[in-house]
Amino acid sequence: MIALEDRTVDASSLATELERLGGRLMMLFATASADGGRELCALVRAHDAVISLRARLRGDAYPAVTRFVPAAHWFEREIHDLHGITPQGHPRLEPLVTHAPDEGDVKLFGEEDVGPTHRGAERLAGPGVFVIPYGPVRSGVFESAQFLVQTGGEDVAYCAQRLFFKRRGAERRICEVPLELAVLVAERVSGTSSIAHALAFSHAVESLANTEVPPRAQAIRRILAELERLYNHLEATVRECEDASLSVAQAQFAALKERLHRLAGAVAGNRYLRGTVVPGGTRVDLDQRAVDLIAATMSEWEREWRRVLALLLRTDSFLDRLVSTGPLSEEDARDFACVGPVARASGIDLDTRRDLPYDGYPAFDVAHHADGDAMARMEVRFQEVESSLELIRDAMGSLASGATHSEIGRLVHGAALGAAESPRGETLYWLEPDGDSGLRFCKLRAGSFVNFGIFNRVFDSQVLTDFSFIEHSLGLSPAGCDA
């Protein structure tokens, strides 16, 4: 349960108040206030607490937060798109989540004006400079997203990202469907991090209803969540090997990934672990057969993983492509409130499992790296594979006998925040109940939403052929970002 420190300000001073608070902006959204009006709500991680800053709106406009807090840039555009509220002075107030009907009207520039301390990308002009609109249908099996790459032929002058082709209205659906079915929507927001989304949603519902999760269910949740982290980190590794044209490495890591999915299918009935986590506990129980299968599979898996990884880290043609590629400075990562392996690889010490503890996670070493390049992001993932293996072993040892589910009673609180660390970073669900058994409002934020915001900032002195290395080292999920 996440304790929130409530504060109220006027919308006209929200920007200055957020700047004064410092810390990391987790979410910013518009919601209904208690008296039927509208208010903005900012969630900030500062001074070891989560501060919920509510700002009453008078009228349809307020001074933009983005001028002082760059991390607010996409949140404010979203608020403008969805609620018609204008953040005055926002550097780029064009549609973000709702696509303008005129596809041709896409501005390449503007994002670089965000933030007071950032120099913009070099504006290139002249003969021979052109823009490659890459996507939304891209070459290969990829999710839909568009990248506008400005180049003179080889060097990338600027790269702008366009997302939200896949917006399915998950927040609306979560409120529409009966509360006991809403977790099925949450686990389909980003299908490769079903567990993290189901966990974050369930944590919020459990907070609303003051429900304690039984210890056995907590241990099962940890096992499933770490299994999910493993196959997502493997996916990033497979993609990087493919980009480096290392066919054998690609096949070896893909085979390791496949084994994890087969294990998931055998113990949870679904290769992406869906239908397992529900508010109040879990729907699956791990019997002795499942426990033995996990133990046997993981010990062999671990041996194979170490062997193949050792080979990869001695392969110059792999290292050459990743070292110093796609650098993200610590300053940018902090200003834009990045999360997950992307933030940890740029020297930012954060991990939801440790910072907002849930489901009985024991102490573990949070991965970190200071280089901020593609290699650092992969090394953070390699470190996390090790800690995930250790956490699975620990959870298997602490599978206490007992129930796997507690009933969710009446929803007694006015609002709650649920969080979980997905393989891509902090996943958040903010829920406000309608009566004592339904939901009135849901705001979700996947790690990919914030991490996609810096996509245009990692192409300094990069060349076109680095594109896929950079994209896959960030390891983002358009489905999670678009929701």
Partner 1 sequence: MIRWFLRGVTRPRVTTCYPREPEPPPVGFRARASLPSEAVIDEAARRVAAICLPGALSVEPDGALALDEKRCIGCGLCAHALTMDAGYELARLGSSPVSLSPSFRRSLHIRHVDTGSDGAVEQEIAALLNPYYDMQRLGLFFTASPRHADILLVTGPVTAPMEEPLRRAYEAMPEPRVVVAAGTDACSGSIWTEPEVLGGVDRVLHVDVYIPGDPPTPIALLHGLLLASGRAGEASMPVKKSAA
**What residues line the site for partner 1 (CB under 8 A)?**
99, 103, 136-137, 139-144, 164-169, 172-173, 176-177, 180-181, 184-185, 188-192, 194, 235, 238, 246, 248-249, 251-252, 254-255, 257-258, 261-262, 265-266, 269-272, 274-275, 283, 307-308, 311, 314-315, 477-480, 482
- Closest to partner 1 by CB, 8 vs 315, is 315
**Looking at the DSSP assignment, which residues form a beta bridge with residue 88?**
63
- Closest to partner 1 by CB, 118 vs 188, is 188
- Closest to partner 1 by CB, 71 vs 277, is 277
**Residues 170, 444: contact at Cβ < 8 Å?**
yes
Residue 255 CB, nearest approach to partner 1 (Å): 5
- The token duo for 93 is 């107030």
Residue 45 CB, nearest approach to partner 1 (Å): 27
**Looking at the DSSP assignment, which residues form a beta bridge with residue 173?**
none
User: What single letter denotes the amino acid at residue 95?
Assistant: P
State how far the Cα of 322 lies from the Cα of 232, in Å rounded to an integer.
Answer: 19
Residue 258 CB, nearest approach to partner 1 (Å): 5
- Closest to partner 1 by CB, 164 vs 441, is 164
- Closest to partner 1 by CB, 66 vs 477, is 477
- Closest to partner 1 by CB, 52 vs 427, is 427
Calculate the alpha carbon distances from 178 to 174, 183, 247, 438 in Å.
Answer: 8, 10, 47, 7
Q: Is the peptide bond before 136 cis (omega within 30 degrees of 0)?
A: yes
For every residue of 205-239, DSSP letters joined together read HHHHHTPPPPHHHHHHHHHHHHHHHHHHHHHHHHH
Residue 173 CB, nearest approach to partner 1 (Å): 7
- Closest to partner 1 by CB, 62 vs 318, is 318
DSSP category for residue 121: P
- The token duo for 96 is 């973000």
- Closest to partner 1 by CB, 261 vs 334, is 261
State how far the Cα of 113 lies from the Cα of 338, in Å rounded to an integer.
Answer: 18
Residue 441 CB, nearest approach to partner 1 (Å): 17
Residue 307 CB, nearest approach to partner 1 (Å): 8
**Looking at the DSSP assignment, which residues form a beta bridge with residue 9?**
55
- Closest to partner 1 by CB, 313 vs 323, is 313
- Closest to partner 1 by CB, 139 vs 401, is 139
Residue 46 CB, nearest approach to partner 1 (Å): 32
**Residue 419 DSSP SS3:** strand
Residue 181 CB, nearest approach to partner 1 (Å): 5
- Closest to partner 1 by CB, 188 vs 354, is 188
Give the burial string for 290-307 (b: 16+ CB within 10 Å, else e): beeebeebbeebeeebee
**Residues 285, 267: contact at Cβ < 8 Å?**
no
Residue 93 CB, nearest approach to partner 1 (Å): 19
**61-63 and 49-56: which strand pairing?**
unpaired
**Residues 175, 379: contact at Cβ < 8 Å?**
no
* Unique residue bearing structure tokens 């915001």: 453
The 10 Å Cβ neighbour count of residue 140 is 6
**Residues 187, 427: contact at Cβ < 8 Å?**
no
**Residues 239, 374: contact at Cβ < 8 Å?**
no
- The token duo for 83 is 């609620």
For 179, half-sphere exposure in the C-beta direction (CA atoms, 13 angstrom radius) is 24
**Residues 61, 47: contact at Cβ < 8 Å?**
no
